[in-house]
Amino acid sequence: MELSGAEIVVQCLKDAGVEYVFGYPGGAVLHIYDAIFKQEDVRHILVRHEQGAAHAADGYARATGKPGVVLVTSGPGATNAVTGIATAYMDSIPMVVLTGQVPTPFIGSDAFQEVDTVGITRPCVKHNFLVKDVHDLAETMAKAFYIATSGRPGPVVVDIPKDVTDPNIKIPYSYPKRIKMRSYNPVTKGHPGQIKRAVDVILNAERPVVYAGGGVILDDASKYLIELAKLTNMPVTHTLMGLGAFPASDRQFIGMLGMHGTYEANMSMHEADVLVAVGARFDDRVTGKIEQFCPDATIIHIDIDPSSISKNVRVDIPIVGPVRAVLRDMVKVVEGHKKKPKKDALKAWWARIDGWRAVNCLKYDRNSALIKPQYAVETLHKVTKGDAYVCSDVGQHQMFAAQFYGFDKPRRWINSGGLGTMGFGLPAAMGVKIAHPKAEVALVTGEASIQMCIQELATCKQHDLPVKIMLLNNGYMGMVRQWQEFFYDSRYSHSYVDALPDFVHLAESFGHVGMKIEKPGDLEGAMKEAFGMKDRLVFMDVIVDPAENVYPMIEAGKGHHEMYLPPDSELV
Partner 1 sequence: MRHIISILMENEAGALSRVAGLFSARGYNIETLTVAPTEDPSLSRLTLVTRGSDDIIEQIKKQLNKLIDVVKLLDLSEGPHVEREMMLIKVKAEKTGREEAKRMADIFRANIIDVTDVSYVIELTGSSRKLDAFISAIDEANIVEVVRSGPTGIARGAKGLTL
Ligand X SMILES: Cc1ncc(C[n+]2csc(CCOP(=O)(O)OP(=O)(O)O)c2C)c(N)n1
Could you list the active site residues? Answer: 50, 112-113, 162, 479
303 lies in the binding site for ligand FAD (CB under 6 A): yes
Cβ closer to ligand X: 267 or 444? 444
Summarize as ranges the residues that interact with ligand X (CB under 6 A).
393-397, 420-423, 446-449, 472, 474, 476-480
Q: Binding mask 360-399 vs ligand FAD (x if CB under 6 A, - otherwise)?
A: ----------------------------------x---x-
259 lies in the binding site for ligand FAD (CB under 6 A): yes
Q: Which stretch binds Mg ion (CB under 5 A): 62-70, 175-183, 244-252, 472-480?
A: 472-480
Binding partner of residue 127 among partner 1, ligand X, Mg ion, none, CB cut-off 5 to 8 Å per kind: partner 1
281 lies in the binding site for ligand FAD (CB under 6 A): yes
**DSSP 3-state assignment of 76?**
helix
In terms of DSSP H, where are the helices of 337-372? 343-357
CB of 402 to ligand FAD, least distance (A): 8
Rounded Cα distance, 552 and 314, in Å: 27
> Which amino acid, 441?
V
260 lies in the binding site for ligand FAD (CB under 6 A): yes
CB of 142 to ligand X, least distance (A): 34
CB of 307 to partner 1, least distance (A): 4
Closest CA to 229 of 238, 241, 240, 220: 238
Q: How many Cβ atoms sit within 10 Å of the Cβ of residue 297?
A: 23
Q: Binding mask 195-214 vs ligand FAD (x if CB under 6 A, - otherwise)?
A: ------------------xx
Binding partner of residue 490 among partner 1, ligand X, Mg ion, none, CB cut-off 5 to 8 Å per kind: none
88 lies in the binding site for ligand FAD (CB under 6 A): no
Rounded Cα distance, 436 and 298, in Å: 41
For 369, phi and psi rounded to 5 degrees? -75, -20
560 lies in the binding site for ligand FAD (CB under 6 A): no
- Rounded to 10 degrees, what is the CA torsion of 333, 334, 336, 339? 130
328 lies in the binding site for ligand FAD (CB under 6 A): no
548 lies in the binding site for ligand FAD (CB under 6 A): no
> Which amino acid, 425?
G
- Contacts to ligand FAD from residues 475-534, by CB under 6 A: 479
301 lies in the binding site for partner 1 (CB under 8 A): no
CB of 444 to ligand X, least distance (A): 9
CA distances for 360 relative to 260, 373, 423, 564, angstroms: 14, 17, 32, 13
- Contacts to partner 1 from residues 169-208, by CB under 8 A: 181-184
CB of 463 to ligand X, least distance (A): 24
Cβ closer to ligand X: 298 or 495? 495
Closest CA to 389 of 156, 217, 223: 217
| Number of residues assigned to the chain | 572
In terms of DSSP H, where are the helices of 21-116? 30-37, 50-64, 76-90
CB of 425 to ligand X, least distance (A): 9
474 lies in the binding site for Mg ion (CB under 5 A): yes
215 lies in the binding site for ligand FAD (CB under 6 A): yes
For 539, phi and psi rounded to 5 degrees? -105, 105
161 lies in the binding site for ligand FAD (CB under 6 A): no
DSSP code, position 123: G
**Max alpha carbon distance in the chain (Å)?**
77
Rounded Cα distance, 541 and 447, in Å: 9
168 lies in the binding site for partner 1 (CB under 8 A): no
CA distances for 410 relative to 215, 238, 279, 381, 388, angstroms: 11, 12, 14, 16, 11
Q: Is 466 left (phi over 0), alpha (psi -120 to 50) or beta?
A: beta
Closest CA to 51 of 27, 82, 88, 9: 82
- Contacts to partner 1 from residues 95-154, by CB under 8 A: 118-119, 122-123, 126-127, 130, 147
Distance from chain centroid for Cα 345: 36
Identify whether the C-beta of residue 22 lies closer than 8 Å to the C-beta of residue 71. yes
**Footprint of partner 1 (CB under 8 A):** 118-119, 122-123, 126-127, 130, 147, 181-184, 305-307, 309-311, 314
**Footprint of ligand FAD (CB under 6 A):** 91-92, 152, 213-215, 218-219, 239-242, 256-261, 279-281, 283, 285-286, 303-305, 308, 322-323, 394, 398, 417-418, 420, 479
